[in-house]
Chain A
């Protein structure tokens, strides 16, 4: 009886997993953007903004360091 129950559990588990896998395939993602490579444009734009921001903050940092030196 116990074995039968385990077997049932196993089959139910397999069914559940396959259903889950099936459901996962149906979820819509931006796959076309990835296949035609346009996602790299987005990455390039975001990286440019990030680099620009960091250069700006870095220069601000340097400027304040200079002021601090003058004070001392």
Chain B
């Protein structure tokens, strides 16, 4: 990452502007009137954006893991681990917000039993994916040798990223899910067909994804810089 990207703060301000727009537009602009969801469709700007942010951060982490394996540059390992950490944070936040949303739509309004909601393949898949990333940090912590830690965890990170796709993107779409994108659902497949999201939602949704992701990147860069500082003091001592 060039110093331009780290120190110049235009994209940090952009993140703030986009998130302020997300809150103002997200609460005040018109949304489609949908049964069951009602006003809670506005969670699209918050809950769904957590998962999109997580996805983008995990992609960045994956790229840095490959870069580490190609170059053996220790910086790339730090980048990969910190982006994975913030990605996991977003994933946990997405999970937490999802439980609240599910409680008031699927359980209360749709009269789904708790057992049915727990069988929801996207919940299981997301839990598996997050646990796999959790194991990434356990793995990192279990090495004392820095080079070995970096190499093994880079390989593991690539595996974790590969597991992300079947568990949260493919399987829920194959076996049927309460989430949009399930076979035969009225909501279409909004992740792949852009027009399946109402245009009134899209004008807030896309800026919101960028805003939340930039915030995640910002937090990750702070963590990275802190780690680099720690490493420097370690070497100097």
Contacts and interface: CB of A to CB of B under 8 A. Distances in A.
Interface of A: 23-25, 27-30, 39-40, 42-43, 46-47, 50, 54, 57-58, 60-61, 64-65, 67-68, 71
12 contacts: A27-B34, A29-B33, A39-B28, A43-B28, A54-B16, A57-B218, A58-B12, A61-B222, A64-B225, A65-B7, A68-B229, A71-B233
Contact of B24 (A27, A47, A57): A47
Contact of B33 (A27, A39, A58, A61): A27
Interface of B: 7, 9, 12, 16, 19-20, 23-24, 27-28, 32-35, 38-39, 215, 218-219, 222, 225-226, 229, 232-233
Contact of B222 (A28, A47, A57): A57
Contact of A64 (B28, B32, B222, B233): B222
Given A42-B27, A61-B218, A65-B7, 18 more contacts: A25-B33, A27-B38, A29-B39, A39-B27, A39-B28, A43-B24, A43-B27, A46-B23, A47-B24, A50-B16, A50-B19, A50-B23, A57-B215, A57-B218, A64-B222, A64-B226, A64-B229, A68-B229
A26 B27 CA distance: 21
Given A30-B39, A46-B23, A60 B222 contact: yes
B29 to A, nearest CB: 11
A47 B23 contact: yes
B219 A57 contact: yes
A29 B38 contact: yes
A37 to B, nearest CB: 11
B13 to A, nearest CB: 9
B227 to A, nearest CB: 11
B105 to A, nearest CB: 13
A8 B233 CA distance: 79
Contacts of A47: 20, 23-24
